[in-house]
Structure 1
Amino acid sequence: MQGDRSKSSFVGGASLGAQDRDNRVEVPPAIVDSTTMNMTLLIAALGTLVPAQEWSQYRGPGGKGDATASTLVTSWSKDSNVVWHLPVPGKAWSSPIVHQGHAWLTNATADGKKLSLVKVDLKTGKIAGDFLLREVAEPQFCIPYNSHASCTPTARDGKIYVHYGSALTACVEADSGKVLWQRTDLPCNHHRGPGSSPLLWNDRLFLIYDGFDVQYVAALDIATGKTTWKADRGIDYGTDNGDMKKAYATPALLEVDGKPQLVCPSAGSTISYDPSSGKEIWRVKHGGMNASSIP
């Protein structure tokens, strides 16, 4: 997490790849300063803006954080490599994604009472949609250096999957902003605010809930939002202190010996699951607390 600051700037870097490669877009993590409560989305280019590759999840394709281009923009200034910038009022520590020619940002008010999704046209820098998804009467407590919209969305086939921890998980139609399904019944006391981003695989959406009170992994059917399986962590933390049980990690889908594994770090242990059934494959107890890494 970042320090106690009040403005986040999301930066998108476009690149000019070699002729035999697709042009790529990299969207690095948030950069913050301490002036206002606005988010600023910057789109940068090396000379000219080039077509954007899909960057449809946290850390891009496969969660690898790799734009795979021969040339990437590495510096930006007011006069260099910035095509447009767009102030977006709100407080959100999530990263933007790129899907179907638009950047998508989860957003929230600082108090967490309004959760929204912002759609930005990559060519013009204009807001193409600002969709209020839920109003929360009594949001959970969130520390100042986190936000109520810290989970990066993911997308596929014209659908955006957003996650705001236990407050809301939803599938949104990209063209219209219509909510196709939503879940607000997956309990977790985040105690400091949410941070784990969702992951798509086949017909499943994977979510990690490592909270102060409960710790589990859930798989939802992407067509209906219904729970396909749920696996309690079952970790011996060696303490009743919920602060030692919280974590903010994002899962990763890895292939081992030709078979998929869903690897989910947590406080104290990392556990691998069969993504189809939720059956545990292995676990490693390594100690530590508040894990926020991705394998």
Structure 2
Amino acid sequence: MTFGEDSHVTWKTPVPGRAWSSPVIADGVIWCTTAIERAATDEEKVAMMRESGIEDRKMKELAIAKAIELKLVSIDLASGKILGTIELTSIEKPDAIHSLNSYASPTPVINGDHLYCHFGTYGTFCVNRHTSDIVWQRRLPLEHGVGPGSSPIVMDDVLVLIQDGMDRQYVTGLNTQTGETIWETDRPEFTGASPESSKSYCTPIAITDPLGREQLVCMGAQWMVAYQAKTGKEIWRLRHGRGFSVVPRPVYHDGVVFFSTGFGKPELWAVRVDGSGDVTDTHVQWTMKSGIPARPSPLLHDGLIYVISDNGVASCFDVESGDPIWKKRIGGDYSASPTLIGKHLYFGSHDGKVTVMTPGPDAEVVAESELDGKIMASPAVVDGALILRTDQAVYRIEN
């Protein structure tokens, strides 16, 4: 399917602010978080960064706002009409973030009547999606270094947050009804890591392993760790090397978890999840060191795993062996993860280009489309429609 601003777009709805969080959908309503920034002049930016202790040589890769307003926007799935905006909080003098990040990058999660919005150090909010009331809110301060990134998940009525900052690295479980802390578990000890290389931005996944154990699989710098959801007790751990600032979310299939090791030199690992304790030397199924992304997450489908590197090289590997199947340069820079809809793979780049490919060992590019704006958020899929967010608007795209 080839689409564009005037083709196959059911509706397009501008959303104020800047946010890389993905849209989430339930009962015919799309929910998006956003951050409204009060801009600073170049001179004010330099002054604020220096006041924060940031070295001049690092300022070019950072951005900062004088203040931010964090909001939750609801959009009608059928018409694209904005149904409402919920004011969550305002923050004066927020920390600097990476120029590729936003103040609203973590994706919210829906669980029953409630929607959980997480903004890292700027707050976590439980919103009743029927009444728009804020049920509870918490603020767990953390020095992210380049802004928040890890999204929450819900497992067994526990809201799980990965809190891997420069100052402290831990995983915590909050009561979904009250926001109270149920458990808090520090990460394993790092080897030769500076605060900069201890941080991470990964989102956990919840699985049930072949032994019937429920696991929270939580990737971080140097370590991949699985925890019990109800207690936070560690089940197994694996040292993956010196990777840090991990963004890609792991994926799971048939007793094996697949994950990227993050910045440094990204590698793709396949690890069996039926172990206990330190499984570094016993449960690694395979590793791949070429063409692996530091930002987009991998995609699993029909015995194959697909990735798109940050600089636009798409690759396909065999799930069982890790053997390369194909590699294709499609160009562009990427943060959004690949998406499968029906019989096609979709890859959205920073410059708004969407490349459509057929999956499988004989994959080929079948279409290229252009949208206004920048694609940083991974899209959602509902009823065969692509719900895609750029830095300017949310689109519903379908045949």
Matched, 1:177 2:118: no
Instruction: Measure the CA separation in 1 of the matches of 2:33 and 2:69.
Output: 11
Which residue of 59, 69, 84 maps to 2:11? 84
Q: Is the 8 A contact 2:190 2:198 kept in 1?
A: no
Which residue of 225, 236, 240 maps to 1:271? 225
Question: Is the partner of 1:134 in helix, strand or coil?
Answer: strand
Instruction: Measure the CA separation in 2 of the matches of 1:187 and 1:216.
Output: 12
TM-score (norm 1): 0.72
Which residue of 231, 236, 252 maps to 2:205? 252
Aligned length: 220
Matched, 1:137 2:64: no
- Cα RMSD over matched residues? 1.2
Question: Which residue is equivalent to 2:168?
Answer: 214
Q: Is the 8 A contact 1:189 1:211 kept in 2?
A: yes
The one-letter amino acid of 1:282's match is W
Cα deviation, 1:99-146, whole Å, max 9, x if unaligned, reads 121110010023352111010011111111111100112312212210
The one-letter amino acid of 1:259's match is R
Question: Which residue is equivalent to 2:107?
Answer: 152
Which residue of 190, 196, 209 maps to 2:144? 190
Question: Is the partner of 1:176 in helix, strand or coil?
Answer: coil
Instruction: Measure the CA separation in 2 of the matches of 1:177 and 1:133.
Output: 10
Instruction: Measure the CA separation in 2 of the matches of 1:113 and 1:175.
Output: 26
Q: Is the 8 A contact 1:100 1:158 kept in 2?
A: no
Q: CA deviation at 1:242?
A: 1.1
The one-letter amino acid of 1:76's match is F
Cα deviation, 1:254-295, whole Å, max 9, x if unaligned, reads 111111011100011101111111111111111211111222
Instruction: Measure the CA separation in 2 of the matches of 1:221 and 1:272.
Output: 19
- Consecutive unaligned residues of structure 1, counting only runs of 5 or more, are 1-73
Question: Which residue is equivalent to 1:167?
Answer: 122
Instruction: Measure the CA separation in 1 of the matches of 2:218 and 2:93.
Output: 29
Which residue of 21, 28, 38 maps to 1:101? 28
Question: Is the partner of 1:114 in helix, strand or coil?
Answer: strand
Structure 1 moving runs of 4+ over 2 Å? none
Question: Is the partner of 2:196 in helix, strand or coil?
Answer: helix
Which residue of 52, 59, 69 maps to 1:114? 69
The one-letter amino acid of 2:245's match is N
Matched, 1:234 2:188: yes
Cα deviation, 1:51-93, whole Å, max 9, x if unaligned, reads xxxxxxxxxxxxxxxxxxxxxxx54212322110011121101
Instruction: Measure the CA separation in 2 of the matches of 1:261 and 1:75.
Output: 40
TM-score (norm 2): 0.54
Question: Is the partner of 1:166 in helix, strand or coil?
Answer: helix
The one-letter amino acid of 1:91's match is R
Instruction: Measure the CA separation in 2 of the matches of 1:158 and 1:85.
Output: 27
Higher-Rg structure is: 2
Instruction: Measure the CA separation in 1 of the matches of 2:226 and 2:111.
Output: 24
Question: Which residue is equivalent to 1:16?
Answer: none
Question: Is the partner of 2:75 in helix, strand or coil?
Answer: strand
Instruction: Measure the CA separation in 1 of the matches of 2:187 and 2:30.
Output: 34
- Consecutive unaligned residues of structure 2, counting only runs of 5 or more, are 38-64, 251-399
Cα deviation, 1:202-244, whole Å, max 9, x if unaligned, reads 21100001111110001000000000100011322313x2110
